[in-house]
Structure 1
Amino acid sequence: MKRSDRLYSLIEILKDGKLHRAEDMARDLGVSIRTIYRDMDTLAASGVPVEGERGIGYSARAAITLPPLNLTETELEALHLGLAAVGNGVDGELQEAAKTLSAKIDAVLPEDRHGAPASFGFAVYPFADAAYGFRHLTSLRSAIRNRQKLRLTMQDQSLRDVRPLKLDYWGRVWTCLVWCDTTDGFATLRADQIEQVTVLPGLFVDEPGKRLEDYSA
């Protein structure tokens, strides 16, 4: 069972308001008690009103419960762009609500983010930096679809001629996997660290060793 599915299953179990032992939930979900403890900490950190403690049991009383949603990457991008705008454009209650909502979304995203950098700090990554990276996503996505070579100017003013292959989302941080002609190798570039995107003439074709499937292999 995926972690996101397990977290939702735990919410379904807890929302009846009754006390549930970690041992029973672990048995029902086929995981260890330690995993249940970690999941309880994750739910609490994400704003789910979990009550209880280890060795006694847990319950939850949510004021509003939404059904599970399946979002496309574009919908997720739009959602976080809106949260970024609210988080930076207003003060007080709405700003705090934007931050906690974004943390809840991050907490239930799938775990299978191959090679996710540990230093990104998903739950505390600044909204302003996230919004800064959104401005290039349309150009990057279009280049991936059209197999268009790009010249990227990075924040350190270095230039990279790249073949964009894939966009990934890491919790308010978007990255682009590229084959970099400048360094002659694969690279994962953060969208918020790209200053300028320039479309180069000509399209790229699949070449052995430079394709997405070669990186995955």
Structure 2
Amino acid sequence: MAGGRKQTGIRRSDRLFDIIQIMRDGALHTAHDLAERLEVSERTIWRDMATLRASGVPVEGERGVGYMVTAPITLPPMNLTMGELEALHLAVAILGEATDPDLSKSAQSLAAKIDAVLPENASPPSTGWGFAVYPFADAAAGFKHMPLLRDAVREKKLIRMSYLALDNTASTRLIRPLQLEYWGRVWTMSAWCELRNDFQVFRVDRIEALIDTGATFKDEAGKNLQDHLAKMDAEMSSQGPKTAI
């Protein structure tokens, strides 16, 4: 076990998400370093890498050498709007969980065809559009919040949010939603958090409640999306990206 420690209370799907966040910097990461950072064994990291590959994540590498992503892991630049991508994602995910074997098989086939045309993913088409990584219930828990979040990003609405972090710590925050990101079944939201006075990345499925305050915000130096992306680039260059809380 890395450093004699053992990660407790964290689901495998959450750990896989953390690995993807860490590896977004495009650098080479050894299984030993990842195990130390996530407090699991190297054998666990090897299994996680196999799962990510099977799910279509563009990861290359091997034991004893290290792992790195071979293409940017971002929202696919298809000719789809955010709403269209969300609708497609939901439909394929639902059908993939269907008890009807023909429908489920067709959903898997459709997912493979979608993977095949995503320009960021240079790896061979996977057999499931993220099916192997996140249970459908994870994403479904956050779907109800997407309309308000999309509107808040477009209209710069100030939102009050009740949030349950991955360590099950609950908090109420006033946020400025800046961007929604898709990770294969799981959506995240980058925002400026008034409570922390800093940028934060939130898992949409961990949001318990949202309230439109009726107020809006204006872009401010140090608090807008461009500043957030610049800060992420700097963090990636130095120590890896910030993980969703």
Distance 1:200 1:110, change over 3 A: farther
Say yes or no: does 1:76 pair with 2:85: yes
Rounded to whole Å, the distance in 2 between the matches of 1:137 and 1:146 is: 14
- Give the letter for the 2:89 counterpart: H
Say yes or no: does 1:210 pair with 2:219: no
Q: Which has the higher contact order (CA 8 A, sep 6+)?
A: 2
> How does the TM-score come out when normalised to structure 1?
0.58
> How does the TM-score come out when normalised to structure 2?
0.52
Rounded to whole Å, the distance in 2 between the matches of 1:186 and 1:107 is: 34
Distance 1:70 1:183, change over 3 A: same
State the partner residue of 2:61: none
Structure 2 counterpart of 1:150, from 152, 156, 159: 159
Shift of residue 105, structure 1, vs aligned partner: 2.9
Q: Deviations over 1:48-87 (max 9, x none)?
A: xxxxxxxxxxxxxxxxxxxxx7322221111111122223
State the partner residue of 1:94: 103
Rounded to whole Å, the distance in 1 between the matches of 2:178 and 2:96 is: 31
Shift of residue 88, structure 1, vs aligned partner: 3.3
Residue 95 of structure 1 aligns to a residue in which SS? helix
Rounded to whole Å, the distance in 1 between the matches of 2:158 and 2:144 is: 18
Residue 94 of structure 2 aligns to a residue in which SS? helix
- Give the letter for the 1:83 counterpart: V
1:83 touches 1:102 (CA, 8 Å); kept in 2?
yes
Q: Deviations over 1:12-71 (max 9, x none)?
A: xxxxxxxxxxxxxxxxxxxxxxxxxxxxxx8x987xxxxxxxxxxxxxxxxxxxxxx732
- Give the letter for the 2:184 counterpart: G
2:178 touches 2:224 (CA, 8 Å); kept in 1?
yes
- Give the letter for the 1:184 counterpart: N
- Give the letter for the 2:102 counterpart: E
1:143 touches 1:149 (CA, 8 Å); kept in 2?
yes
Q: Deviations over 1:134-174 (max 9, x none)?
A: 22111001011111111111234322211001111122221
State the partner residue of 2:45: none
What is the 5 A alignment of 1:1-217? 70-106=79-115, 108-111=117-120, 122-124=130-132, 125-155=134-164, 156=168, 157-217=170-230
Q: Which protein is bigger by CA-based radius of gyration?
A: 1
1:106 touches 1:171 (CA, 8 Å); kept in 2?
no
**Structure 1 residues not aligned, in runs of 5+:** 1-41, 47-68, 113-120
- Give the letter for the 2:79 counterpart: N
